[in-house]
């Protein structure tokens, strides 16, 4: 492995014995979330790609969507801010479609009982590295897709997601995945940036016995400006 970089960027070359397979470029940054500093290693941008064994492609992840897990999205910032002081006492928490896992990293610093999931096979290594550079405990991670029929995750009291309704079939898949892993008495918080599928998701969740309300928080990247999306809060008892 060869490392070189400056100004927060790191170029990483993955070598075999006789030739270079591919190159990823990383960005190191520190985000203020609530009263905490969260250190992150992310992909430098959405132009990165490394799937030499076709693992992602075989899971249905296209080259265009491959890097989307590895950057920080505005919805994730909003959810992380919410989790910086959310009541977590005694709750088992699941972040679904976690990507770079910023909300989970915030909760982990608060010593919450949090588990992260994502379909992407490279999420776990990024999450492990980011817990290391934050000098935090390892976050339990399960690689699973929302359409997977059986998982061993168990049941949770609080389920979280940010920008997880970006495909046409996601409202039904996500709602069923949540119902599979939610205690009969639970909370669900989903931050949506304004995608068209949110209304179908809301109706499906209500059909599963959840009460619903939503708010529109301030933009965490540009303080004072309105976040264009919404925070959907579901409760079932």
Cα 192 to chain centroid, rounded: 12
Pair of tokens at residue 230? 């919404």
- The answer to whether 52 and 40 are in contact (CB under 8 A) is no
pLDDT tens-digit readout, 92-137: 999 999 999 999 999 999 999 999 999 999 999 999 999 999 999 9
Residue 90 has pLDDT above 80, yes or no: yes
Domains and CATH numbers, the chain: 30-236 (3.40.50.150)
Percent of the chain with pLDDT over 90: 66
* Phi, psi (deg, nearest 5) at residue 128: -65, -45
Beta-carbon contacts of residue 86 (< 8 Å; ≥ 6 apart): none
Compute how many other C-beta atoms are within 10 angstroms of the C-beta atom of residue 46: 13
What are residue 36's DSSP bridge partners?
Answer: 33
Residue 19 has pLDDT above 60, yes or no: no
Q: Which of 60-69, 70-79, 105-114, 138-147 has the lowest mean pLDDT?
A: 60-69
pLDDT for 6: 37
What pTM did the predictor assign? 0.86
Measured CA to CA, the distance from residue 170 to residue 168 in angstroms comes to 6
pLDDT for 220: 61
pLDDT tens-digit readout, 140-176: 999 998 887 667 789 999 999 999 998 889 999 999 9
Cα 42 to chain centroid, rounded: 13
Range 64-68 contact pairs with CB under 8 angstroms and sequence separation of 24 or more: 66/120, 67/43, 68/99
3-state secondary structure of 167: coil
Q: Which of 15-24, 79-88, 132-141 has the lowest mean pLDDT?
A: 15-24
Q: Which of 7-16, 51-60, 121-130, 223-232 has the lowest mean pLDDT?
A: 7-16
Measured CA to CA, the distance from residue 156 to residue 175 in angstroms comes to 14
Measured CA to CA, the distance from residue 207 to residue 201 in angstroms comes to 10
pLDDT tens-digit readout, 171-230: 999 999 999 999 999 999 999 999 889 999 999 999 999 999 999 886 665 566 778 899
Using alpha carbons, select from 82, 128, 91, 132 the residue that is nearest to residue 111. Answer: 91
Q: Specify which of 22-31, 65-74, 99-108 reaches the highest per-range mean pLDDT.
A: 99-108
Measured CA to CA, the distance from residue 125 to residue 199 in angstroms comes to 34
Q: Is 68 exposed, middle or buried (0-12, 13-18, 19+ CB in 10 A)?
A: middle
């Amino acid at each position: 492995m060869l490392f070189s970089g400056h100004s927060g960027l790191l170029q990483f070359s993955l070598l075999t014995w006789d030739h270079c397979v591919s190159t990823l470029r990383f960005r190191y940054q520190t985000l203020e979330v609530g009263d905490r500093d969260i250190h992150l290693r992310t992909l430098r941008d959405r132009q990165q790609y490394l799937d030499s064994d076709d693992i992602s492609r075989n899971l249905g992840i296209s080259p265009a969507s491959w890097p989307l897990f590895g950057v920080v999205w505005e919805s994730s910032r909003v959810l992380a801010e919410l989790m910086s002081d959310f009541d977590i006492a005694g709750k088992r928490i699941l972040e679904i479609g976690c990507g770079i896992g910023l909300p989970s990293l915030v909760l982990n610093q608060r010593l919450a009982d949090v588990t992260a999931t994502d379909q992407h096979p490279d999420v776990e290594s990024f999450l492990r590295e980011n817990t290391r550079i934050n000098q935090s405990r390892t976050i339990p991670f399960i690689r699973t897709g929302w359409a997977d029929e059986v998982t061993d995750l168990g049941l949770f009291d609080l389920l979280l997601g940010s920008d997880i309704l970006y495909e046409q079939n996601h409202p039904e898949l996500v709602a069923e995945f949540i119902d599979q892993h939610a205690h009969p008495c639970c909370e669900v918080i989903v931050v949506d940036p304004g995608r068209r599928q949110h209304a179908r998701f809301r109706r499906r969740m209500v059909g599963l016995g959840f009460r619903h309300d939503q708010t529109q928080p301030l933009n965490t990247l540009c303080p004072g400006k309105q976040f264009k999306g919404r925070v959907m809060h579901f409760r079932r008892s």
